[in-house]
Chain A
Amino acid sequence: MKLEINNKYCIRCGLCEDLYPDLFKRNFEEHCIDVLHEELPAELEERAKQAVADCAVAMIRLVK
């Protein structure tokens, strides 16, 4: 499993970083949000699902 952010519409509100610093990090140079794990560790999967639900504009996806 892998987390993906749709950068075209992500509003960079940073909510995901605040709530899930183990999954996301704000990238100030590129003005975007970096996903921290290429491949999501199994123990973070539940948190990742929550992050998908919490995103302000539904731009986080959990993909196979």
Chain B
Amino acid sequence: MGKTVKVDVAVMGSGVAGMGAAYKLVQAGVKDIAVFEKYPAQGGAVSNCPMMFCSTPDTPEAQKAAYEVLARFSNYDGNMNLISKVVKYSSEFPRIFLEELGIKCMIKVDRDPADYGNKRAYTQGHANGIDVGDYYFLEGRGKGHAMALALLRMRINLEKAGVQFFFQTPIKKIVKTGDKVTGAIAYEKDGTEIDIQCKALIVASGGITGNMEMMKEEGVINVDPKFEEVFEEGKQVLITFPDSCQDGDGQKAVWEIGGKKTAMVISADPEVPNPGVRIGPNTPWLNGNQIKVVTEMPWMRVNEQGKRFINEEMSNQHTAMSRAYCKQSNMHGYQIFDEDTVKRMEEEFDENYVYFIFKGAKLSGLREQMDASIAKGNKHMCHFDTIHEVAEYMGINEANLKETIAKYNKAAEEGYDPDFHTDAKYLHPIREESGHIYCFRIFAGAYDTMGGLAIDENANLLDINNQPIEGLYGAGDMVTGSFYGEPTSNAGGTVYGAMTTGLLAGDSAAAYVRENF
């Protein structure tokens, strides 16, 4: 026998987007709210890592500057009104996370609005998204990550406020009556069907990285069989969710009722595969991982043909970097540097340097860590006396590599890189005379996907005619293309994009219920 759950608003997914929506629904005074979650716990992507967020201050100057960066970034393809709302909602983060949820901020990086958009990935700043505000690096409990703790606290607060949570109860279908969404169908773990009757539904079920088949079908990852092995190996490192429920259920359910389908891209994290690289599959954020520190550095990268292919400053702009790797003939990039560079990193260190989402660290014992990994059977790194040995071991075209290095060294000497315009301060010559040459083979690992669905400026999900579907809202990674532009290229899944759209969806659904029922 099936069950019936009758509520004002149902939410699909309890990631930052779904929880943000539920939070706003409660604030707006909506009485009956139910959150359906496929996984046994709340948090989604956030329970796997994130520890920093970006927030645009609520001053006209900052809001306008952030808006302009995002609009330009989207190639004026994003919904401009949605962009300004996203920017505005982001200003609520410090209040929500720091004040209401009591999360401590470890480091705050204040940015001058006049400089927004000028940081290209690398440097103290932001990898995960765009440079449109201040950065807050949060302190977690124990060795954990703060955003997960924040969402647990948020869930407890929402439960106290009367929100019902249904875990391990995925929504699979959306029910429409006429033109309006009036419900959904979910299933309990034992298969019991739940008939959800609601006035509005908010879909926030994240990306599709839990569903390899769908990733291939939708062209999110390369389908050529020659890459099977890469995926197998890549999987050792990432998919960052070793255990996830981001299976694309939300996208499919919305498409099924005529929702607009948009491109999906991976929000990726370039990685050197295991063994010996990560402490484990679940703790990429733990510091002291020298290999991770190094592969974030904007030092020279080539492909298997021995040619550079990107401005290395993008090394910290994970999505762009990973997409560039995916376009190389074997989907790998090779980072090459010499002993002088290692020595410099051991001695000089910019306290403010933040790589990816971690606070920077001085390099120490890189070679020992590499040797330990190599001893465990890792074939994706090496260090030799000569470029010849590196090229041979890694399978890089030696003649081209030598030519590339000569050109690169000249650029370093002259302080000008005519090929990729990499900032002169990041160009360090690669010389055998330094004593040693190092190389890492880097893969693109996927940690989330963005896109699939489109929303308007009220977070109303759009149909194939770009018209809002009544009673149906969307939020989170799955809709970010609507303000980052299509396809969602360089941004990366962020709390900035996911939670803001969640907050907006919550407010809009509350207004819809208030005005129409």
User: In the complex where A11-B47, A12-B41, A26-B242 touch, is A18 in contact with B282 (Cβ < 8 A)?
Assistant: yes
Determine which of B42, B141, B280 lies in contact with A17 in the assembled complex, contact meaning CB atoms within 8 Å: B280
A53 at the interface (CB under 8 A from B): yes
Identify the closest chain A residue to B149 (Cβ): A57
A contact residues around B47 at 8 Å (CB): 11-13
A40 at the interface (CB under 8 A from B): no
Identify the closest chain B residue to A18 (Cβ): B280
B140 at the interface (CB under 8 A from A): yes
B43 at the interface (CB under 8 A from A): yes
Q: Is the CB of B152 within 8 A of A14?
A: no
B434 at the interface (CB under 8 A from A): no
A12–B38 Cα distance when bound, in Å, is 13
B40 at the interface (CB under 8 A from A): yes
B243 at the interface (CB under 8 A from A): yes
Q: Is the CB of B282 within 8 A of A13?
A: yes
A58 at the interface (CB under 8 A from B): yes
B384 at the interface (CB under 8 A from A): no
A24–B242 Cα distance when bound, in Å, is 15
A54 at the interface (CB under 8 A from B): yes
Q: Is the CB of A14 within 8 A of B242?
A: yes
Smallest distance from the beta carbon of B280 to chain A beta carbons, Å?
3
A28–B210 Cα distance when bound, in Å, is 13
Contacting residues of chain B (126-158) with chain A, CB-CB under 8 angstroms: 140-145, 148-149, 151-152
Q: Is the CB of B281 within 8 A of A11?
A: no
Q: Is the CB of A58 within 8 A of B141?
A: yes
Determine which of A26, A32, A54 lies in contact with B144 in the assembled complex, contact meaning CB atoms within 8 Å: A54
A31–B243 Cα distance when bound, in Å, is 7
Determine which of B41, B143, B281 lies in contact with A19 in the assembled complex, contact meaning CB atoms within 8 Å: B143
Q: Is the CB of A56 within 8 A of B243?
A: no
A11–B140 Cα distance when bound, in Å, is 13
User: In the complex where A11-B47, A12-B243, A14-B243 touch, is A57 in contact with B283 (Cβ < 8 A)?
Assistant: no
User: In the complex where A15-B144, A56-B140 touch, is A28 in contact with B280 (Cβ < 8 A)?
Assistant: no
Smallest distance from the beta carbon of A41 to chain B beta carbons, Å?
22
Q: Is the CB of A56 within 8 A of B148?
A: yes
Contacting residues of chain B (271-324) with chain A, CB-CB under 8 angstroms: 279-283, 286
B358 at the interface (CB under 8 A from A): no
B48 at the interface (CB under 8 A from A): yes
A contact residues around B168 at 8 Å (CB): 31
Query: Residues 20-40 of chain A: 1 if any B CB is under 8 Å from the residue's CB, otherwise 0?
Result: 010000101001100000000
Q: Is the CB of A15 within 8 A of B283?
A: yes
Identify the closest chain A residue to B152 (Cβ): A57
B353 at the interface (CB under 8 A from A): no
B39 at the interface (CB under 8 A from A): yes
Q: Apart from A15-B283, A54-B142, what are 16 other A-B pairs with CB-CB below 8 Å?
A: A11-B43, A12-B39, A12-B41, A13-B47, A13-B282, A14-B242, A14-B243, A18-B283, A19-B280, A19-B283, A28-B242, A31-B243, A32-B40, A53-B142, A54-B144, A57-B152
Q: What are 26 A-B interface contacts by the 8 Å CB criterion?
A: A7-B40, A11-B43, A11-B47, A11-B148, A11-B151, A11-B152, A12-B41, A12-B47, A13-B47, A13-B48, A13-B144, A14-B242, A15-B142, A17-B282, A18-B279, A19-B143, A19-B280, A26-B242, A26-B243, A28-B242, A28-B243, A54-B144, A55-B141, A56-B141, A56-B144, A57-B152
